[in-house]
Structure 1
Amino acid sequence: MSLIRRSNVFDPFSLDLWDPFQGFPFGYGSSSSLFPSFASANSETAAFAGARIDWKETPEAHVFKADVPGLKKEEVKVEIEDGNVLQISGERSKEQEEKNDQWHRVERSSGKFLRRFRLPENAKTEQIKASMENGVLTVTVPKEEAKKPDVKPVQITG
């Protein structure tokens, strides 16, 4: 039995934007606000912003798994930014509403999501592979082999 530890502890490699004032009713996001406005802080983006992503490290690679149910691979982008930042983004469109439709409940979110992760120095960004199956995006970032220190014997005299 393996034990998986999940936590919401600060991750120095995660570049997610966290907005502690989102949803407060004091004019946040307006031009007259005392607080800065972020393009990603609108309600449409916030609705789907929490794409859940697991990041594990194996001896050979860093593996990211993202839950993106209902999205096609054409609706998801995986990019490397600034040489070492993995960026995963996408958008789920709102369902088309027909004039005669009567909605009883709307719980499925729509909108854009964007997640960024700063990759460690040992990541081979030129060899990244991504695949999608059953609503799960898997991004595999191979690692460079650990360099073994050069050891040179020294002759002992005497």
Structure 2
Amino acid sequence: MSNLTRWNPVSDFEEMMDRYNRFFGLSRSQGAGESKDLFRRSDWAPAVDIKESKDGFTIDAELPGMTRDDVKVTVHDGVLTIEGERKQEEETKDKKHHRIERFYGSFLRRFTLPDNVDEGSVKASFKNGVLSLELKKSEPREPKAIEVKVE
């Protein structure tokens, strides 16, 4: 069985322009001509795996070529945020790039946490380009009843 991929020169050109604009800190306007595909290949965001056990959740994010100093993890109001930047190596005069497929630049991933997660329990570790976050479960918060007086 043969796998064929149809070449789309317009898509390649858009990807090249996105990389150029990101490299110089420019952003493309979200006009009518913008691609409607929300998961375009040129959008840089690390892939994650989210696993649940009886005691908590584990989030593993792939961040090859990065260090723990390149990544920031925060939890605020039930939202876990992973953000960082992968910097492109300096170009030298004696090298000519034939193809660049790795993604560079800033990224931001946000996850809404379930009510049964203890926000203060988040532990992070970084090994071999994988950021691992452990979140412990807590007892779900019971709704608080407020007595209303009618006058």
Q: Same fold (TM over 0.5)?
A: yes
- The answer to whether residue 93 in structure 2 is matched with residue 94 in structure 1 is no
Partner of 1:30: 29
In the alignment, structure 2 segments of 5+ residues that lack a partner are: 1-13, 16-26, 142-151
Q: Which has the higher contact order (CA 8 A, sep 6+)?
A: 1
- The answer to whether residue 119 in structure 2 is matched with residue 125 in structure 1 is yes
Q: Could you tell me how far 1:102 is from its partner in structure 2? A: 1.7
- Output the amino acid matched with 1:144: S
In the alignment, structure 1 segments of 5+ residues that lack a partner are: 1-22, 148-158
Question: Normalized against structure 2, the TM-score is what?
Answer: 0.64
- Kept in 2: contact 1:29–1:35 (CA 8 A): no
Q: Deviations over 1:54-95 (max 9, x none)?
A: 1111111111010111100000111113x2100011111011
**3-state SS of 1:74 partner:** helix
Taking a change above 3 Å as real, the CA distance of residues 48 and 93 of structure 1, as seen in their structure-2 partners, is farther
Match of 1:141 among 131, 135, 150: 135
- Kept in 2: contact 1:124–1:143 (CA 8 A): yes
1:5-154 correspondence to structure 2 within 5 Å: 29-30=28-29, 33=31, 47=42, 49-81=44-76, 83-145=77-139
- Output the amino acid matched with 1:30: S
Q: Could you tell me how far 1:35 is from its partner in structure 2? A: 8.7
Aligned pairs, how many?
A: 113
RMSD: 3.0
Q: Could you tell me how far 1:34 is from its partner in structure 2? A: 5.6
